[in-house]
Structure 1
Amino acid sequence: MSILLEGGNRPTINQHGTYAIVAITKHGVELARNLSNSFQHADLYYMKKFEKGDEEARDIQLFEGSVRLLLPSLFQAYKGIILIISLGAVVRMIAPLLKDKKTDPGVVVIDDKGENVISVLSGHLGGANELTREVAAALGARPIITTASDVQKTIPVDLFGKRFGWVWDSAEKLTPVSASVVNEEKIAVVQESGEKEWWDYDRPLPENIQTYASIQEALKAKTAAALVITHRHLTEQEKPILANGVLYRPKVIVLGMGCNRGTSMQEIESVIQETLDELGFSIKSVKAISTIDLKKDEEGLLETAAKYGWEFVYYTPEQLNMIEMEHPSETVYKYTGAYGVSEPAARLCSGTQKLALVKKKSGNVTISVAVISHDGGKEHD
């Protein structure tokens, strides 16, 4: 989508996420594109002259004209706005838009080199201070917060894990769970998979927040709210944890895939969903499709990866043959030079030897499934 910014008319935007990322320079666009890979609930806007060609597939919105004319629409639509624009210019552009600290969105500014992330507006109520921390962590930058008293010094529920690419299963309980956290009620954190470095403050976890080894243990503790991080679907016995809980999906699933030439995206997508359902895994936790380099131009695989925003990784036959396989195939070797595709690709991409699914053939598709392990993680297969 391309937006023409002209005086007099408020431009129409397509809002999908909670946050907007905006860039107007060449270096800023690269920063913004990298940041948007981590912030799954953010919409990306940048100038059309920096078009890369993949904007439509990634739902990136391009604009022509002054960015100042875009900001009123963003102010009205988003909870937070991340601007890779000079601080002085931002201050001048947003000044006419300011209404009230209770309603103004959080505004964060990043310098063009990505070295500093500055909380500019609505640091407390608008969440800009926590957004600044998360953005800085994602970029490896320095967070700059100037409010005298910092925000709650606790877990920001709607930003939790965003720098790792975690996504919510549902936003339904974000508000009540956030209220429980802010009000220092008893909170359970249950993590079965995903990155463990989510608490990056130089102080202990607040006393009201406790980690539990399992959902059942957290249920027995009768906490006021819960944050659950897992790639798998919950059982009926576990679902009560979500009565006042948010379920986060870390990006930990790697799909090793092979297919016959010309296999449609629809068939590939159907096999993936069917396989994940059989395993009890969420498609929202898929990180990548991995395959052999012979398939690097396979349209069905590329279209599927693009649709879901997954990484697309491929390896040479020599790389795949270095990986131990349970089911090496002379037939596959005859046609590809590798003794297997889906199985070794899943192992190589995930860095794990134990697969949740070693290999399954369905129609024109062969699939293997791996779960990336993080130190101390408890993976379910």
Structure 2
Amino acid sequence: MKTAIILVSEAGANIARNIQRELEGSEIYSTTGTKGTLWINSITGFINDDGHTFDSFIFIGALGICVRAIAPIIKSKYRDPAVVNVDSTGAFAISVLSGHVGGANQLTKLVASTIGAQPVITTQSDNTNLWALDTLGKEFGWQEQQEGSSMNKIIFAFVNGKRTALLLEVKDKGTRYLERTLPPHVTVYYHWEDIPQEEYEVLIAVTPYIHKPVIPTLYFRPPVLHLGVGCRKDCDAQGVGEYIENKIEESGYSPLSVGSINTIDLKKDEPLFHSLQSVFKAATTHIYTSTDLEDIEVPNPSEKVQEVTGSQSVAEATAIKSAWYGPLVLEKQKGMITEGNQFTFALAMNFAALRKGHIEIVGAGPGDPELISIRGRRMLEEADLILYAGSLVPRELTYCAKEGAVVRSSASMNLEEQFEIMKEFYDKGLFVVRLHTGDPCIYGAIQEQMNFFDQYSMSYHITPGISSFQAAAAALQSQFTIPEKVQTIILTRGEGRTPMPEKEKLHLLARSQSTMCIFLSASVVDDVQEQLLQHYPPATPVAACYKLTWKDEKIYRGELKDLAKIIKENNLTLTTMIVVGDAIDNRQGLSRLYADEFKHLFRSPKVGRPGFNADSKIKD
């Protein structure tokens, strides 16, 4: 975004400079010749003559001056620049013009947070936490289409709380946002035939499908359809784009949802391929080689196409490839508008957009519900089933589950039982969260589950979490690496019922005297201590960390020679992390960041934060 910061009064110079530092591509303009600004003869003249070259304006000064300066250029909310006004004291940042479409509301919030001002936004949908329907499409890459009423009338009905049906027939980032922020007067549906239209005044539909609504409808067309194209050499392109559009519509899909146009490299310079880009204006283009397409199974392979291009298919194969191996919704169609100008096309639906079951393996963090990631928390809020590792994950983490969600502990289930309940929900097209302690990749037992998912070609993804070894470092107020002394952290476990690989025996790992975090080993602490003492000195610091970040967290410090005694006397169990190494409580060793050549980057402690002095820790 190209932004002009208009400095009306020199009193606001520092505010203008702080905003400029935060906004890439911004310049400060003034009539006063203030240092660091670009001189202009008059504000109104500058706006009139050069205003069209900027996406946004930020005025620093009186609101009246701002309003009079922009008045001559105001045309339409769909073309006006974003305008924000900040008073010269920096107390208020006001969204003046083009709040939604031009982005002034978002810019106002950014400016306010940069200078510590109060944002002033008067747009009703923003102040009532309602969706900004006129910018949703732009935000999520959807094409807009109205039916039965104008955009303004639909927005008016929606923001005034009229009963609204929301149809979501695909899923993407935008539909997840809508589900998560559903207003009370909106009811969500996932199938067209389920909507009792007579009960609603407005319909909002995120879908590539063509329907016949009887109430005012705002369609958002997501770019989930992928068009594959092949043709004879030098095929006449006249009318082909319109022909394909009509065929797509006849098949029940909107051409506005075509997200990409695809072909093989042999056809990349064909006039027909390039002409389609002017018909499907929002679509990207992809070119594939025959090697890219060789493993793609298609319903209509062709020996002739194989002979010419090296691939058994062009239209179907490139459509499937671009759709991430999603299903064909329109198999290969043959067309010819003028004699000798044959072409083929096919249409596939993006696999990721299919509204079907999905499993998210989520790292719960070490236990404190506030230490789950933002994404992990959002997954829990959206899940239809939460299956959590009850013996290791506090149930409090699941309290954010939506109404109607099923929450089950897997503590009493074997692997087959866990998979059975997850597959039951998955087969209904529902969203499952498998909640594991810490980070799932560390002793998370997810490999066996993923093996099941792969066997049944199920959709799944992993959201990482904070591991208990990181929680241990925080609780011990220790940096687990020491410059020039310890630069390695070893995550391992003692040998219990599960044998350790011969090369990973504790006494071999102990040779490096690195910081060692030992999981799941309280029950075999005698063996752990014996192996570690083969290479660590007896006085090496140790910490036994029980239920890190839980309400009943306990931490016991000592020396390695007393490790077994510490564990046994305090009856520490499975959820205990053992940390060994000189990094515990270490305050020696200087990072290069604090070496003499970098001292100029830091302020003197005397002028630092309140409560800070050179001889103490930060108190505030």
Q: TM-score range by the shorter chain?
A: 0.5 to 0.7
Residue 96 (structure 2) pairs with residue 122 (structure 1): yes
Query: Which residue of structure 1 lines up, in the alignment, with residue 240 of structure 2?
Result: 268
Query: Which residue of structure 1 lines up, in the alignment, with residue 194 of structure 2?
Result: 217
Other structure's SS at 2:174 match: coil
Which of 161, 164, 175 is the equivalent residue of 2:137? 161
Contact 1:321–1:338 at 8 Å: present in 2 too?
Answer: yes
Residues 220-272 of structure 1 deviation map (CA, whole Å, 9 limit, x = unaligned): 571221111221221xxx421xx222122222211110011111222421431
Which of 183, 186, 202 is the equivalent residue of 1:206? 183
Q: Give the whole-Å Cα distance in 2 for the aligned partners of 1:87 and 1:271.
A: 48
Which of 305, 308, 315 is the equivalent residue of 2:277? 305
Q: 1:273 to 1:205 in 2, by over 3 A?
A: closer
Q: Give the whole-Å Cα distance in 2 for the aligned partners of 1:270 and 1:335.
A: 27
Which of 49, 55, 63 is the equivalent residue of 1:69? 49
Query: Which residue of structure 2 lines up, in the alignment, with residue 367 of structure 1?
Result: 345
When Rg is computed on C-alpha atoms for both structures, the one with the higher figure is 2
Which of 232, 235, 257 is the equivalent residue of 1:285? 257
Contact 2:225–2:347 at 8 Å: present in 1 too?
Answer: yes
Residue 151 (structure 2) pairs with residue 178 (structure 1): no
Residue 294 (structure 2) pairs with residue 342 (structure 1): no
Q: 1:356 to 1:176 in 2, by over 3 A?
A: same
Query: Which residue of structure 1 lines up, in the alignment, with residue 172 of structure 2?
Result: 195
Other structure's SS at 1:318 match: helix
Q: Give the whole-Å Cα distance in 2 for the aligned partners of 1:217 and 1:108.
A: 41
Q: Give the whole-Å Cα distance in 2 for the aligned partners of 1:184 and 1:131.
A: 24
Q: Give the whole-Å Cα distance in 2 for the aligned partners of 1:209 and 1:147.
A: 27
1:110-149 matches, within 5 Å, as 121-122=95-96, 126-128=98-100, 131=103, 143-144=110-111, 146-147=119-120
Which of 228, 232, 250 is the equivalent residue of 2:205? 228
Structure scoring higher RCO (CA < 8 A, sep ≥ 6) equals 1
Q: Which amino acid aligns with 1:163?
A: E
Query: Which residue of structure 1 lines up, in the alignment, with residue 82 of structure 2?
Result: 108
Offset of residue 366 of structure 1 = 0.7
Q: 1:132 to 1:256 in 2, by over 3 A?
A: farther
Which of 301, 324, 327 is the equivalent residue of 2:297? 324
Contact 1:194–1:250 at 8 Å: present in 2 too?
Answer: no
**Equivalent residue pairs, number:** 286
Offset of residue 83 of structure 1 = 4.1
* Structure 2 unmatched ranges of 5 or more: 1-23, 26-45, 85-92, 113-118, 337-341, 357-620
Query: Which residue of structure 2 lines up, in the alignment, with residue 239 of structure 1?
Result: 213
Contact 1:157–1:178 at 8 Å: present in 2 too?
Answer: yes
Q: 1:239 to 1:205 in 2, by over 3 A?
A: closer
Other structure's SS at 1:263 match: coil
Q: Give the whole-Å Cα distance in 1 for the aligned partners of 2:178 and 2:249.
A: 37
Other structure's SS at 1:154 match: coil
Contact 1:288–1:305 at 8 Å: present in 2 too?
Answer: no
Q: 1:338 to 1:134 in 2, by over 3 A?
A: farther
Offset of residue 289 of structure 1 = 0.9
Q: Give the whole-Å Cα distance in 1 for the aligned partners of 2:69 and 2:103.
A: 23
Q: Give the whole-Å Cα distance in 1 for the aligned partners of 2:205 and 2:68.
A: 40
Query: Which residue of structure 1 lines up, in the alignment, with residue 462 of structure 2?
Result: none
* Structure 1 unmatched ranges of 5 or more: 1-26, 29-65, 75-81, 111-118, 137-141
Q: Give the whole-Å Cα distance in 2 for the aligned partners of 1:340 and 1:213.
A: 34
Query: Which residue of structure 2 lines up, in the alignment, with residue 377 of structure 1?
Result: 355
Q: Give the whole-Å Cα distance in 1 for the aligned partners of 2:346 and 2:210.
A: 19
TM-score, normalised to structure 2, is 0.40
Q: What RMSD over aligned residues (CA atoms) do the two structures have, in Å?
A: 3.9
Contact 1:193–1:373 at 8 Å: present in 2 too?
Answer: no
Offset of residue 203 of structure 1 = 7.2
Q: Which amino acid aligns with 2:200?
A: T
Contact 2:327–2:350 at 8 Å: present in 1 too?
Answer: no
Contact 1:83–1:108 at 8 Å: present in 2 too?
Answer: no
Contact 1:107–1:120 at 8 Å: present in 2 too?
Answer: no
Q: Give the whole-Å Cα distance in 2 for the aligned partners of 1:175 and 1:301.
A: 37
Q: Give the whole-Å Cα distance in 2 for the aligned partners of 1:326 and 1:195.
A: 28
Contact 2:202–2:216 at 8 Å: present in 1 too?
Answer: yes
TM-score, normalised to structure 1, is 0.63
The 10-residue stretch of structure 1 (186-195 or 331-340) with the greater mean CA deviation from structure 2 = 186-195
Query: Which residue of structure 2 lines up, in the alignment, with residue 333 of structure 1?
Result: 306
Contact 1:271–1:365 at 8 Å: present in 2 too?
Answer: no
Q: 1:262 to 1:194 in 2, by over 3 A?
A: farther
Other structure's SS at 2:135 match: coil
Q: Which amino acid aligns with 2:302?
A: S
Q: Give the whole-Å Cα distance in 2 for the aligned partners of 1:367 and 1:230.
A: 22
Offset of residue 94 of structure 1 = 7.2
Contact 2:100–2:135 at 8 Å: present in 1 too?
Answer: no
Contact 1:325–1:344 at 8 Å: present in 2 too?
Answer: yes
Offset of residue 151 of structure 1 = 2.8
Query: Which residue of structure 2 lines up, in the alignment, with residue 352 of structure 1?
Result: 325
Offset of residue 127 of structure 1 = 3.2
Contact 1:130–1:156 at 8 Å: present in 2 too?
Answer: no
